[in-house]
Amino acid sequence: MIHIITDRDLGNYNIEDTCIHKYENVISYKYSPSISELTFFSSVDLSLQEDKEIYYIFDCPGRDPLLHWISETFIFFPLLLKVKETYPNIKILNTNTKKYVKNIFNFFNINIEITDTLKPNNICFFSPIISLNDLDHLKDLFLKYVYLFIDNINIVLENSVLPNNKIILLPRNNKDNYVPNDRIIPGIEDIEQNIIDKGGIVLNTYQINNIHVQWSIIKSCEIIILDYGSSLFFNCLFLKNKKIILLNNHWLIDGQRTFLSIKLLLDIIEKNNTLIIVNPNNNNNVITYNDIKHHIE
């Protein structure tokens, strides 16, 4: 049997006024790329009744780019924890192989088995179907869980005390990036060296391999410098009273503001912080330290 559910479908399983989707004997599933739609097949084999595997699905329409995975599926992790109260043997089903997946579950101390294998005798839970590319009907629900996500980050970090630092630079990772968006950030070496010379921190987050340490260090800094993309939303959404210098090397932010989801997330960051957008002043899409130093010195 084939099922197609979208953001217009409220779901058939209620958890604290949020409806999610619960189906049995799912054989396979597939999210439509970049739209709020999920297609899956289920079996009507009546022999599949006992000893069911229980899964909560953590895949999404945006697949594995960091911001999409966080905003389209992971923000609903409180629902997973509620389902676990009824189904203590639940497993997380996730086909995203990026390193950040296990790290973010670890940050929130979610000690549930993660698997990429779907056994046919099952009960599967799917969060509300959301795509950042066509957020419409579930705007209010999206914002509710974004704010819960922010609150939960700050709860985890509230006892993390680090010395105050003035400046941190987060260079763009060269691993685990979404391949079509694997942009090169020219001129970053010049900025890195000047930040180090001024006693600041350059944090290559892939090598940290610990989200708690990463976010604790970032939260301890007054000025955060980073490029536009997932890094901005992942590392700055929970911050308050910071100066964020955004390197808009590829002139992406204005075009992406047209997406409602991106606008909502940027509004949260700008409401709580001073966001300074720095564009290249040349034709080579290069931002150097000279272009940002008056915001620092």
Query: Residue 269 corresponds to which tokens in the numbers above?
Result: 């960051």
- Helix or strand (DSSP H, E) at 270: helix 260-272
Query: Residue 293 corresponds to which tokens in the numbers above?
Result: 């130093």
pLDDT at residue 185, rounded to an integer: 63
CATH architecture of 160-295: 3-Layer(aba) Sandwich (3.40)
* Predicted confidence (pLDDT) per residue in 183-213, tens digit: 566 668 888 999 989 889 998 877 888 999 9
pLDDT at residue 178, rounded to an integer: 43
User: Is 288 in a helix, a strand, or coil?
Assistant: coil
> Does the pLDDT of residue 88 top 80, yes or no?
yes
pLDDT band, very low/low/confident/very high, at 179 (cuts 50, 70, 90) = very low
pLDDT at residue 174, rounded to an integer: 56
Rounded to two decimals, what is the model's pTM? 0.88
Q: Which segments within the chain are labelled E, that is strand? A: 2-6, 13-15, 18-24, 26-31, 37-42, 53-57, 91-93, 114-115, 122-126, 165-170, 201-202, 221-227, 243-247, 274-278
Judge contact between 191 and 225, C-beta under 8 A.
yes
Domain boundaries defined on the chain = 2-149, 160-295
Among the residue ranges 40-49, 145-154, 192-201, the one predicted with the least confidence is 40-49
